[in-house]
Structure 1
Amino acid sequence: MSLTGLAFAIVIGVLWAMAMAQAKWLENSLYPYAVVLQCVPILALVPLIGALFGYEFTSRVIVTVMIALFPMVSNTLFGLQSADRAQHELFRLQRAGRLARLVKLQVPAALPSIFVGLRTSAGLSVIGAIVGDQFFQRGNPGLGVLIQVTASRLMGPELYATIIIASLYGVAVFLVFGLLGRLAVGRWHDFG
């Protein structure tokens, strides 16, 4: 579930940032929605999400996307806008269109920032999946249900073990995307 939500957050976040990078008026129009999405208390929306989309997998994925989306949008936008201005001018002199500038200049320049967003969103997607699982307890139970059950039954060792497993899963996902970033970006950028 966390990987499904992360995949949606990646696609939506990158496309959203690409749209905003095309014109300042688009950024001014769309970026406030990303900020609002980040600031909305997800727990307050959980009953509404459940009422609209049911209480199973779809709702869990929506919660995961809502939690993991903002880092993808903000980091990708930052990366797309960080392309060298002189190179932008060179592309304009060569009469390259917006799509060519995006694909050949902005996306390569944004890769380090995109992978920072990926690592951050990967960790947040695990949290989103656990939160969604705790509130939408129908369907296949996950770590969120296990945490809630062990906590409600005062099963201390099992609760700690579940929390450790959830944390290790989050760290593993974070490290996998860090490795993917290092492989994709290579040595031309100091990728932390």
Structure 2
Amino acid sequence: MNKVTRWLLKSFLPPFGVFCTFIALWYAVRAVLPDNRKILLAAPHQIFTEALSDEKVRSDILSATWTTLEAALIGLGVAIVIGLTMAVLMSQAKWIERSFYPWAIFLQTVPILALVPLIGMWFGFELFARVVVCAIIAMFPMIINPLNGFLSADRGLHDLFTLAGTSKATRMAKLLGPSALPDIFVGLQTAAGLAVVGATVGDFFFGRGPRGLGLLINFYRSRVQTAELFATILATCLLGLVIFWFFGALGRRVVGKWSPAWGAPR
């Protein structure tokens, strides 16, 4: 057995086994449901034979996916810019960290569903309001993870930079920044998934505006079209996975050669 085959078996066989078990349990649960309840749980094959095989359903899902992706990416971009800026500032002075850290925690603990109605009233129900929801929900990991990386830089290297009389900008560019890169990419992966969640949740509870995946989920739910509903949920999950995997691949490409957390030998 060559190395490629062993790698494929090691990487894909365990999750594929879990997937097969999940599908088997899905069919088993559906088999024991009364006939009048089976409509509430479409069989896995029905997602393809009744939903994705329909051209209109495919078109609606693709259009909604693009709408959700647009809001998620813009909101993620806003969260990255604001979050990294806050992390840099908080790493430079203890009083800045003490001033803003509680508000970073507030972003994580505030129930976003409680804010969605207010955001809708203040900003309407178009793209901008969805971006606000995405940015709020994705900003916490873009503050905390980079900040942890900045503060974890080697103390001995700090002393060397101090002895050399380097400026704060040079210390950030040549010590803190490279030291924080693994944590920054962890934050990016987490924030990317949360941005998709924020776009979907905002869309679902706004109940109006451009039809994204959340609004499409609500549409199929209200009509008890479970095959179409599961197909839309599947599209939402795949969208989040693709963005998550993208930042994972980028992280391995950038820091994987020297960071144990991203693939370097321990």
> Do both share a fold (TM > 0.5)?
yes
Provide structure 2 residue ranges, at least 5 long, that are not aligned to the other structure: 1-70
Following the alignment from structure 1 to structure 2, what is the Cα–Cα distance between the partners of residues 19 and 76? Answer: 11
Computed over aligned residues only, the root mean square deviation of the Cα atoms, in angstroms, reads 1.0
Q: After TM superposition, list the pairs within 5 Å mapping 1:53-132 onto structure 2.
A: 53-132=123-202
Offset at 1:165? 0.8
Partner of 1:42: 112
Distance in 2 between residues matched to 1:138 and 1:65, nearest whole Å: 20
- Aligned equivalents of 2:208, 2:118: Cα separation in 1: 16
Indicate the structure (1 or 2) with the bigger Cα radius of gyration.
2
Counterparts of 2:234 and 2:125, CA distance in 1: 26
Q: Does 1:19 align with 2:89?
A: yes
Q: Distance in 2 between matches of 1:68 and 1:169?
A: 16
Q: CA deviation at 1:139?
A: 3.4
Secondary structure, in 3 states, of the residue corresponding to 2:256? Answer: helix
CA contact under 8 A between 1:8 and 1:65: conserved in structure 2? yes
Please list the CA deviations of residues 128-171 of structure 1 after superposition, one character each: whole Å capped at 9, or x if unmatched: 01011112344321101111101111000000011011001111
Distance in 2 (alpha carbons) for counterparts of 1:178 and 1:13: 19
Q: In structure 1, the residue corresponding to 2:131 is in which secondary structure?
A: helix
Identity %: 54
Partner letter of residue 180 of structure 1?
L
Give the structure 2 partner of residue 134 of structure 1.
204
Alignment size in residue pairs? 192
- TM-score by length of structure 1 reads 0.97
Residue 99 (structure 1) shift: 1.0
Matched residue of 2:150: which SS? helix
TM-score for the superposition, normalised by structure 2: 0.70
Alignment partner of 2:220 out of 131, 134, 150: 150
Contact kept, 8 Å, 2:117 with 2:206, in 1: the verdict is no
Task: Give the 3-state SS of the residue equivalent to 1:187 in structure 2.
Answer: coil
Contact 2:146 2:180 in 1 (8 A): yes
Deviation of residue 54 (structure 1)?
1.4
AA in 2 matched with 1:97? S
2:121 counterpart residue number: 51
CA–CA distance in structure 1, aligned partners of residues 199 and 209 of structure 2: 14
Q: Which amino acid aligns with 1:166?
A: T
Task: Tell whether the 8 Å contact from 1:69 to 1:121 is kept in structure 2 after alignment.
Answer: yes
